[in-house]
Every structure is written in C-alpha cells, then in structure tokens.
C-alpha cells in the first residue's frame, strides 16, 4: 500500500463511478486522431469493421496520403507531387491514393513497408504509372502491399517486381509495351523464395495474389525465379483482353 497516494488518483477513483462516457460522444476529430496512432494494418482496418461511423473515420481521406502531380501548393499536408515522395513519407499500413488523369513516372520505387496503393479514378485506366526504359521495374515490393485500380505500364523490364511479403493486386491493368525485346519483359516477376532469412523475418508466407487484372504484352504474365509457383489460375477472355485471377505461392 502506498503511503502517499497522489491527489489525481483519488480523483480518478471517485470519477470512475460517476462518469459513464461513450466513445461515440467524443467528436470526429478526436476519434480520427486516435485512429491515426494505429498501425493501418491490421489495427486501423480492424476499427473500420466496428461500426459505420468508425468505418467512415478510419477510411477518411485525411488519414490517407495522396499523390497529385498537379499540386502547386506543397504545404498541404498529406499531398505529394510524386509516388516516391508519398512512399517515403508513408507510415507502415498507410493508404496512398494516386490521382487520376495524367501519367505518373515510377522507376524502381522500392516499397519496404506495408502500403496500399489505389488509383483514384473510376477505372484502372484512369491512373497510369509508367516505368520508363532503363529501369528494372515500376514498383519493387519487399513487404506486404496491395495495389488496386491502377494501370502499370513498363516500356521494358517488368511492371511489378516482387521480392518478399504478400502482394495483392486487385482490379489493375499491367501492360508491357511491345518492342523488339519484349521477350525480356514480364508483367510480374517474383524472386521470393523460402530462404532462411525471409522465414525468420516473417512468419507469414510470401505470395502474390492477383484478381480481376488485365495483363497485356510481355513474354509471360508472371515469371518466378524463386521457389513460388503459379496456382489456381482463372482467365476470362474478352474480345480485347484477358482478365486474370491467379495466385503465386508456396506449393
């Protein structure tokens, strides 16, 4: 038993019985600030499932980062002129919303933290990331990430390079431009392997899962140089394109 109990402790004990507060009494700004301290994956996503209000706040654009090339005023918080800048500023689990219209350059952008990159257009065609000649890939993933509603176009090399983590690609378009060397380009290249290092660092397996994604051009939709293998492939043929669903994972 403490000899001298601080005054606030007595006050707190006294208040415990008289205060019956509810988190829904506190205003949106406070609640959003609380959510901003949560890791987006999985905790902030968890809060989104609690109720409608929490979902709205947890997914509020203020908690997102935006990439907008046309931005003039760089002082606006959370808006970045390039994908690189947004990726380096993002905290693990953040969602980066990439503005529709125009073309975003993406060359060898390494992503080492869990992020979600989403195109803000209505269709994946509205937001295009171009990897120019001379780069290995547009985006390189070393962590669990999600891409959605984006077009990634590679002039040479690959659109997405997967090194480790769980990569989810949903509703995207991956294009490899046709050129004399297009036998060298692939939409997705994965080098992940179940080496000792990666299994110690991560207890969940590396994998790539692709859904509703149009893949055009290139030698192969996916090239695996690690130990992962292609599984559960579904393809829908439309007149103009092929839409893929597949997983690349450990056997």
Residue closer to other proteins, measured from CB, 166 or 186: 166
What's the closest the beta carbon of residue 221 comes to other proteins, in angstroms? Answer: 20
Q: Which DSSP string do the residues of 189-220 spell out, in sequence order?
A: EE-----HHHHHH-SSPPEEEEEEEEEESSSE
How far, in Å, are 28, 86, 94, 145 from residue 33 at the CA level? Answer: 8, 20, 14, 24
What's the closest the beta carbon of residue 212 comes to other proteins, in angstroms? Answer: 13
What's the closest the beta carbon of residue 71 comes to other proteins, in angstroms? Answer: 28
Residue closer to other proteins, measured from CB, 201 or 204: 204
Q: How many CA atoms lie within 13 A of 248 on its CB side?
A: 29
Which positions lie near other proteins, rule CB under 8 A?
Answer: 6-8, 11-12, 14-16, 18-27, 29-30, 33-43, 45-55, 93, 116, 146, 166, 168, 170, 204
Q: Can you say whether the dihedral through the CA atoms of 178, 179, 181, 185 is positive or negative?
A: negative
Residues contacting 150, CB < 8 A, separation 6+: 98, 117, 118, 119, 124, 127, 128, 129, 172, 173
Residue closer to other proteins, measured from CB, 59 or 219: 59
Residues contacting 55, CB < 8 A, separation 6+: 48, 49
If you ran DSSP here, which 8-state letter would residue 112 be given? Answer: -
What's the closest the beta carbon of residue 194 comes to other proteins, in angstroms? Answer: 17
Residue closer to other proteins, measured from CB, 44 or 104: 44
What's the closest the beta carbon of residue 26 comes to other proteins, in angstroms? Answer: 5
SS3 234: strand
């Amino acid at each position: 038993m403490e000899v001298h109990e601080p005054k606030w402790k007595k006050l707190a004990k006294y208040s415990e019985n008289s205060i019956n507060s509810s988190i829904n009494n506190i205003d949106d700004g406070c609640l959003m600030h609380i959510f901003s301290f949560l890791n987006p994956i999985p905790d902030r996503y968890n809060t989104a499932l609690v109720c409608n209000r929490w979902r709205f706040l947890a997914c509020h654009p203020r908690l997102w980062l935006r990439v907008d090339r046309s931005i003039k005023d760089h002082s606006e918080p959370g808006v970045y002129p390039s994908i690189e800048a947004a990726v380096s500023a993002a905290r693990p689990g953040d969602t980066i919303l990439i503005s529709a219209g125009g073309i975003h350059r993406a060359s060898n952008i390494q992503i080492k933290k869990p992020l979600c990159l989403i195109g803000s257009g209505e269709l994946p065609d509205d937001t295009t990331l171009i990897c120019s000649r001379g780069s290995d890939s547009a985006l390189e993933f070393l962590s669990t990430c999600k891409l959605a509603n984006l077009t990634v176009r590679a002039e040479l090399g690959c659109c997405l390079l997967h090194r480790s983590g769980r990569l989810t690609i949903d509703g995207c378009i991956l294009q490899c431009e046709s050129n004399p060397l297009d036998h060298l380009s692939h939409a997705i290249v994965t080098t992940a392997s179940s080496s000792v290092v990666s299994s110690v660092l991560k207890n969940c397996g590396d994998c790539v899962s692709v859904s509703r994604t149009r893949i055009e051009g290139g030698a192969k939709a996916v090239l695996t140089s690690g130990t992962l293998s292609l599984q559960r492939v579904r393809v829908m043929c439309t007149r103009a394109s092929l839409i893929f669903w597949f997983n690349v994972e450990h056997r």
